[in-house]
Structure 1
């Protein structure tokens, strides 16, 4: 019985779950309405969309249509957020060549008379949003919060009799204090 109704449903392009749902809805409707109405079998009216696929030509020369070609993604060379001079590379290499390999993270802090000051620290690994700059076998991390202030800068190591320090040549600086310890960048 079930197989004949299934064959009949398939022959008429009717899906079984739709038929079962219609029958349950008709039964529910019949039980909630007055008993004087006769029970009618559910009817399924096919809509404008057909459940069958369009007929295939039997000529054998049917070829699938060509898909539109996709544009291949272009990889563009991007300028590094921070460039290192050879002396800075050598100094960073000597700083991180200890028994426990660490990385150097460059950031900025709100400090000084002009607004911001560079901050360097040792870290064991990159943060979730840190920018990684790799140059001449040395990896330097840039704190994601400082990226706007540091982008396009050059990091140099300067050493003389009185001091030794990293010097940043930053094209984004619009104001700096007299001693050169703090700076401010443009908002645009």
Structure 2
């Protein structure tokens, strides 16, 4: 099982953590939400819990709780700009369908 970051995403996270002045990495999870059933949760991680799975990619730790891991296994997190929009993009091989607004997915 693995969750990875592209170099561009890792650089973005490193810069944010440096500007924030604290944090051990990025916490990635899922929650029930939206019209397709699941939504990504992405936040800075200040503490790694004993049950967390930790993956390191390009020098950045990605922390995932065990309940979210089956939905995220194999996911690559990228960062990019499209027109005026910029943000993280989830390349998740487990997604079977997503809603039209892009806010939620199901597996």
- TM norm structure 2: 0.89
Is 1:135–2:57 an aligned residue pair?
A: yes
Is 1:92–2:7 an aligned residue pair?
A: no
Is 1:112–2:49 an aligned residue pair?
A: no
Counterpart selection for 1:159 from 61, 81, 93: 81
Q: Which residue of 1 aligns with 2:22?
A: 101
CA RMSD for the aligned pairs? 1.4
- CA deviation after TM superposition for structure 1 residue 171, in Å: 0.8
* Cα distance in 2 for residues equivalent to 1:172 and 1:125: 27
- CA deviation after TM superposition for structure 1 residue 107, in Å: 0.6
Q: Which has the higher contact order (CA 8 A, sep 6+)?
A: 2
Q: Which runs of 4+ in 1 moved over 3 A?
A: none
> Mind listing any 5+ residue stretches in structure 1 that lack a counterpart?
1-79
- CA deviation after TM superposition for structure 1 residue 142, in Å: 1.2
| Bigger-Rg structure (1/2) | 1
> Mind listing any 5+ residue stretches in structure 2 that lack a counterpart?
none
CA contact (8 A) 2:97 2:105 kept: yes
**SS of alignment partner, residue 141 of structure 1:** strand
CA contact (8 A) 2:3 2:74 kept: yes
- CA deviation after TM superposition for structure 1 residue 180, in Å: 1.6
- Greater strand percent: which structure? 2
Q: Which residue of 2 aligns with 1:27?
A: none
